[in-house]
Amino acid sequence: MLDRTSRSYRLRVLAALSLVLTLATAVQTAPPAAATPGFEPGYCRRSDYDCVGGGYAATAASTGDSWAWRLYGTPGAGDLGSPPHNCTLYAAWRLQQVGVGNPGWAGHAYQWGGHYGHDRRPAVGAIAWWDRRSTSDFGHVAYVEQVSADGSRVYVKADNYLGGSRGYTDSGWISAASVSGFIHIRDTAAPPVDRDGDFVSYAGKVYRMAGGAPIYVSSWDPFGGPQPTRALSDQEWASLRVTPRDGTTLAGRTSGRVYVVAGGAPQYVSSFEAIGGPRSSIQVDDAAIDRAGEGDPWQHLGRYPTNGTYVNGGGSGRVYVIAGGAPTFVSSWENVGGQKPTVTIDDATIAHAGDTDSTWGHLRSHPSDGFIRGFRSGRIFRVVYEGHRYYVPSWTPYGGPQPYVDVDDNAIDGCDHLACGPFGSLDQAVGGAEKISTVGWGMDPDSTDSIAVHLYVDDTYAGATRTGVVRQDVDDVFHRGTTFGFSTSLSAKPGQHTVCAYGINAGAGGNDRLGSCKTVTVTAKPLVKNLRAPSISGTVRVGKVVKAKVGTWSPSGLTYQYRWKVNGQAIKGATRSTYKIPASARKKRLSVVVKASRSGYRAHSTESVRSAKVRS
């Protein structure tokens, strides 16, 4: 940089002023400049500012208060000022972004090489320069963002003036040999690609680096508009971590919510005191946290921590190992093979395991389906149906050894973040004529014996059965035997009902519901109909035997019951189809009630006409 007090500096300023006055009288607008020459396929060229980004649009399209604008953007400035597009404006603005102070006006683009000097050595932060012979009469400048490993190619960004208000930005790779020279006002070493807080782009998407991983930025709005962004090569992108390093602290740019990364997943921090005190945080797009674990481009944060991650509650000091997204308690390091690195997280996050909202929803209450192993005992357990674990005596049914997570045996036996009650399913509940037919299966994880199943209708106990029905389909899945099925029917009144089945526990744990409840509609049974009333045959006299005639009924196949009456009062014990008239019935009248019934029908009773008075 020139010393502003030097004689040479003053002479250059006077020369510049002279040139400005000459140009001001000779030229009213800057002639169109040539496009950046020699781009390789895949370059960016747009009439807006998207090819350069980084907040340049605000400087180029308005009255920026910066030395870059004053020298190269203001109408009447040394380079004639040609907003909203100008190659020297962008090059100067980019230099200002990396900390270059005002070096004074250097003339038109073709004059920069003579003003600052140039060579053939490409470098990040250098200005790629084209003289008049290479482009237009006014030359061209661009900013070098990257240099290939062998130095033969450079990645440049530039603004281009086409006259009036027309122009465009462009960026991409070009051959270093196509450049007239490189100007080294202030070269900058390429920053590491995984530097926290940097914005990078790849395959048309923008990310913010956090803990060595790229976290997707869905919009510039939370960050106050476009920011300086570095385009990554395929090799640089491949070198990045998939998810941030454990312990990386993130903050939602808009919400202010703070998270610490454990096993690649964000764990909410209710206060910094909960994790041992304040930490610096990297501000990221809230959407990246809320959509953690989804597909591209959200996959750089996991929904749940990876298996085998060890965490400790910052307040309690309790240690857990993650299995299937859930924390399982570690009672001592010896029980998991020795001390392991841990990530300090908020105890409240562990207490909220299983919550599904976007704040807490990054720990499961129970492990997802898979296998765990008691480290000290070597016992293998399978975890299914929302955390129910059962012992696996052999890998054979599973086609050989499967991946598993080592956990503390005490967590298995004590059912920490594991379910130890019965599990199963109420597969069917079908409403019929004043009954409900049920089919399902259930088993206790601590036993292969049959278990009792209690059934409830509308939260009221309605009956019980036991497993024992053959269900080959159940054995095909769980490999514990075939006799875990059940089937039974319950009486129910007509209407809509909710039916639930509960397995009665045989070991540790409680009585758990078997799958989901079912809603059924129960209908009324059809009514048996009397078409012709019953009657009494025989002589109505003391000592005589009279007989009930049932009359005519529908449907056929009915069963009949009888009840004899005298003067309308039921006679004790008189329930046969015949009746011998006693002396006590003299001068009284007889009748008989016939009740007709059949399975699947509602029974119906009809009384005969009363007889004449009994004679002696």
Q: What share of the chain is helix, strand, coil (3-state, %, to 5)?
A: 15, 35, 50
Radius of gyration of the chain (CA): 44
Domain chopping of the chain, boundaries: 7-183, 423-522, 529-607
Q: For residue 21, what is the enclosing H or E element?
A: helix 7-26
Options 3.90.1720.10, 3.20.20.140, 3.30.70.2500, 1.10.630.10; CATH of 7-183: 3.90.1720.10
pLDDT 10s digits, 18-61: 433 333 333 323 334 456 778 899 889 988 888 887 777 765 55
* pLDDT given for residue 107 in this prediction: 87
Sheet holding 485-491, edge to edge: 423-431, 435-443, 485-491
Backbone φ and ψ of 212, nearest 5°: 85, 0
Fold equal for 7-183 and 529-607: no
Residue 257 identity (one-letter amino acid): R
* pLDDT given for residue 62 in this prediction: 54
Backbone φ and ψ of 111, nearest 5°: -85, -15
pTM tops 0.75 = no
* pLDDT given for residue 173 in this prediction: 93
* pLDDT given for residue 264 in this prediction: 97
Residue 82 · residue 61 · CB < 8 Å:
no
Distance CA 264, CA 242 (A): 8
- Assign domain 423-522 to its CATH superfamily: Immunoglobulins (2.60.40.10)
Task: List helix spans (H) across 27-86.
Answer: 56-60, 67-72
* pLDDT given for residue 509 in this prediction: 66
- List, for the chain, all residue ranges whose pLDDT scores fall below the cut of 70: 1-35, 58-65, 74-84, 164-165, 188-191, 507-509
Cα separations in angstroms, 74 against 97, 165, 283: 19, 14, 35
Tokens of 53: 């980004």
Architecture of the CATH domain 529-607 = Sandwich (2.60)
CA-based nearest residue to 9, from 142, 139, 102, 125: 102
Tokens of 122: 């490409």
* pLDDT given for residue 81 in this prediction: 41
Q: How many CB atoms lie within 10 A of CB 72?
A: 28
